[in-house]
Structure 1
Amino acid sequence: MNKTTSGSAVKLAFDEYRTFKGMASGRPIIFLHGLLGNKLNNRGTSKHLSRTLSKVVYCLDLRNHGDSPHNPNHDYPSMAQDVECFIRDHHVKQPIVIGHSMGAKVAMSLALRDAKTCSMLISVDNVPKPNTGNDVTAEISKFKKYLNVLREAFTDPRVSLKSVDSRLELVEPSQRIRTFLMSNIKKDYGSGDVYCRIPIDIIYRNINKIFEFPYQHEVFNGPCLFVRGTDSHFIQDTDEEAIQARFPHYKIEDIKAGHWIISDNPQKFRETVKRFIRENEK
Structure 2
Amino acid sequence: MKLHSKVKGKGQSLIILHGFLGMGDNWKTLANSYAKEGFEVHLVDQRNHGRSPHDDAFSYDLLAEDLKQYLKEKDIGSTSIIGHSMGGKTAMRFATLYPEQVDKLIIVDIAPKYYAPHHQQILEGLTKISEAKLTSRSDADELLSNYISEKPIRQFLLKNLYWKTQDELNLRLNLKALKQNIEEVGKGLPQNAKYSGEILFIKGGKSDYITTSDESDMGTHFDNFEIKSIENAGHWIHAEKREEFFGMSLKYLKS
TM-score (norm 2): 0.95
One-letter amino acid of the structure 2 residue matched with residue 178 of structure 1: R
Q: Which runs of 5+ in 2 are unaligned?
A: none
Distance across 2 between alignment mates of 1:57 and 1:253: 23
Distance across 2 between alignment mates of 1:158 and 1:178: 16
**Residue 78 (structure 1) aligned with residue 62 (structure 2):** yes
CA RMSD of aligned residues (A): 1.5
Distance across 2 between alignment mates of 1:227 and 1:168: 30
Distance across 2 between alignment mates of 1:76 and 1:267: 30
Deviation, structure 1 residue 271: 0.8
| Match of residue 14 from structure 1 | 5
Give SS of 2:187's match: coil
Deviation, structure 1 residue 159: 5.5
CA contact (8 A) 1:229 1:255 kept: yes
- The correspondence for 1:42, drawn from 27, 49, 56, is 27
- The correspondence for 2:106, drawn from 103, 109, 122, is 122
What aligned pairs does 1:1-282 form with structure 2 within 5 A after superposition?
A: 10-18=1-9, 24=11, 27-52=12-37, 54-131=38-115, 140-141=117-118, 143-157=119-133, 160-188=136-164, 191-256=166-231, 257-279=233-255
Deviation, structure 1 residue 158: 5.2
One-letter amino acid of the structure 1 residue matched with residue 184 of structure 2: K
Cα deviations by residue, 1:49-86 (Å, 9 ceiling, x for unpaired): 1212x111101000000000001011101111000100
Cα deviations by residue, 1:132-169 (Å, 9 ceiling, x for unpaired): xxxxx5xx43x211111121233334554332211111
CA contact (8 A) 2:134 2:169 kept: no
TM-score (norm 1): 0.86
One-letter amino acid of the structure 1 residue matched with residue 58 of structure 2: H
CA contact (8 A) 2:13 2:39 kept: yes
Q: Which runs of 5+ in 1 are unaligned?
A: 1-9, 132-136
Deviation, structure 1 residue 192: 1.1
Deviation, structure 1 residue 266: 0.7
CA contact (8 A) 1:161 1:187 kept: no
Deviates more, 1:208-217 or 1:42-51: 208-217
Distance across 2 between alignment mates of 1:158 and 1:255: 38
Give SS of 1:12's match: coil
CA contact (8 A) 1:112 1:215 kept: no
Compared with structure 1, are the counterparts of its residues 259 and 16 closer, same or farther at alpha carbon in structure 2 (3 Å cutoff)?
Answer: same
Aligned length: 254
Compared with structure 1, are the counterparts of its residues 152 and 268 closer, same or farther at alpha carbon in structure 2 (3 Å cutoff)?
Answer: same
**Percent of aligned pairs with the same residue?**
27
CA contact (8 A) 2:8 2:31 kept: yes
Distance across 1 between alignment mates of 2:159 and 2:126: 12
Deviation, structure 1 residue 264: 0.8
Distance across 1 between alignment mates of 2:27 and 2:252: 18
Deviation, structure 1 residue 47: 1.0
Compared with structure 1, are the counterparts of its residues 152 and 95 closer, same or farther at alpha carbon in structure 2 (3 Å cutoff)?
Answer: same
Give SS of 1:172's match: coil
Deviation, structure 1 residue 42: 0.5
